[in-house]
Amino acid sequence: MNRSSSNRALITGASAGIGKAFAEMFAKRGIDIVLVARRRERLEDLAAELRDRHGVDVIVWDGDLAKSETPELLFKALQDEGVTVDVLVNNAGFGVPGDLVDVEWNRHRNCLEVMTAAPVRLTHLFAPGMIERRKGSIINVASLSAVLPPHAGGTLYYPVKSFLLQFSLAMREELRPHGVKVSAVCPGFTETDFQLAAGGTVESVAFPKALWSKPEDVAEAAIQAVRANKPICIPGLVNKVIAVFFKLAPDAVGRWAVR
Ligand SMILES: NC(=O)c1ccc[n+]([C@@H]2O[C@H](COP(=O)([O-])OP(=O)(O)OC[C@H]3O[C@@H](n4cnc5c(N)ncnc54)[C@H](OP(=O)(O)O)[C@@H]3O)[C@@H](O)[C@H]2O)c1
């Protein structure tokens, strides 16, 4: 099959939640897709659905982004097929609740690998093609946590998402002269398997369910933000209010509130 495409999006963490919603939103717009995650069966099911409903070309690539060699293997596999990527969505992620010392090192290592090293490496691999074609977009799925004061419990998650947000803002400056757009999306609580996978957190239990975002709304807001070339997208009014509160509140008040 000829895989050359005028417009293709690569989405990490596409087997569930926000990543799956991104795939649906891009496919709806007639954009071809590369789906990346570990659970191949889920990706195959989604690919079949998207081909059927929207007539787009979908490539499934199962890989573990906690392994440092995965981004390069993915890039080479696509290169060998002559596939170019116009939109990169760094979305794969998971929460790690608990104090740093109470969680086994391997989980922290995976967290750093999937949510910091992999997005940076994928950007390093795919951005040169975008620069050459003077066309492309990168969406980094950070979190509202990135703009809140860090706190004990889930200790690593806040700093990791802050890193991704800062990286996104820096890449935006670097790629701007080349016609490549970069946006970070900072969702608040969103109805996905995320909290389940994280084993539930105190904050997620306390936050009223009616105020949670839908993954489709998060993906749609992020796509619109990158199209409008906005640096940061905070989907949902409640999350925007929370972000403004923590921006304006004195440090001590912010730390107390988040605690
Ligand atoms: N839901 C929320 O409340 C919320 C809020 C703020 C930010 N976020 C962020 O949004 C992003 C998506 O989360 P979600 O809510 O959609 O969670 P989700 O439903 O649990 O989906 C997570 C996705 O990441 C993939 N993934 C996890 N570890 C991976 C690995 N080692 N290699 C490759 N893929 C991996 C999973 O696929 P496989 O398991 O098949 O590999 C899955 O597709 C994350 O970065 C998360 O931090 C979520």
Report pLDDT digits (tens) over 23-74.
999 999 999 999 999 999 999 999 999 999 999 999 999 999 999 999 999 9
Which pLDDT does position 195 carry in this prediction?
76
Determine if ligand 1 sits within 6 Å of the CB of residue 94.
yes
Residue 80 pLDDT exceeds 90? yes
| Ligand 1 atom having least distance to the Cα of 67 | 31
pLDDT band of 16, cuts 50, 70, 90: very high
Determine if ligand 1 sits within 6 Å of the CB of residue 239.
no
**What is the 11 CA–ligand 1 centroid distance (Å)?**
11
CA-closest candidate to residue 95, choices 109, 111, 83: 111
Please name the helix (run of DSSP H) or strand (run of DSSP E) that holds residue 130, with its range, or none.
helix 118-133
Determine if ligand 1 sits within 6 Å of the CB of residue 97.
no
More confident residue, 5 or 256: 256
Domain boundaries of the chain, sorted by first residue = 8-258
**What is the 126 CA–ligand 1 centroid distance (Å)?**
21
Give exposure, 105-144, as e/b (b: 16+ Cβ within 10 Å): eeebebbbbbbbbbbbbbbebbbebbbeeebbbbbbbbbb
pLDDT band of 1, cuts 50, 70, 90: low
Instruction: For the chain, give the percent of residues with pLDDT over 90.
Output: 82
The predicted model scores a pTM of 0.96
Beta bridge partners of 87: 9, 137
Q: What is the pLDDT of residues 192-207, one digit of tens each?
A: 988 766 655 546 666 7
Q: What is the pLDDT of residues 202-257, one digit of tens each?
A: 466 667 887 899 999 999 999 999 999 999 999 999 999 999 999 999 888 888 88
Mutate to test the pocket of ligand 1, among 162, 192, 218 (most ligand atoms within 8 A of CB): 192
* Cα–Cα distance, 130 to 141 (Å, whole number): 19
> Is there a catalytic annotation at residue 157?
yes
| Ligand 1 atom having least distance to the Cα of 212 | 3
**What is the 13 CA–ligand 1 centroid distance (Å)?**
5
Determine if ligand 1 sits within 6 Å of the CB of residue 66.
yes
Amino acid at residue number 71: P
Q: Return all residues near 24 (Cβ < 8 A) that are at least 6 apart.
A: 50, 216, 219
Instruction: For the chain, give the percent of residues with pLDDT over 70.
Output: 95
Only one residue has tokens 């990791």, namely 160
Mutate to test the pocket of ligand 1, among 36, 69, 94, 109 (most ligand atoms within 8 A of CB): 94
* Cα–Cα distance, 89 to 100 (Å, whole number): 28
Alpha helices, H only, 134-236: 157-175, 194-198, 202-206, 215-227
Determine if ligand 1 sits within 6 Å of the CB of residue 70.
no
**What is the 19 CA–ligand 1 centroid distance (Å)?**
7
pLDDT band of 84, cuts 50, 70, 90: very high
Sign of CA dihedral 149, 96, 233, 169: positive
Determine if ligand 1 sits within 6 Å of the CB of residue 93.
yes
**What is the 95 CA–ligand 1 centroid distance (Å)?**
8
Which pLDDT does position 97 carry in this prediction?
87
pLDDT averaged over the chain?
A: 93
Fold designation for 8-258: Rossmann fold (3.40.50)
Q: Are 55 and 47 in contact (CB under 8 A)?
A: no
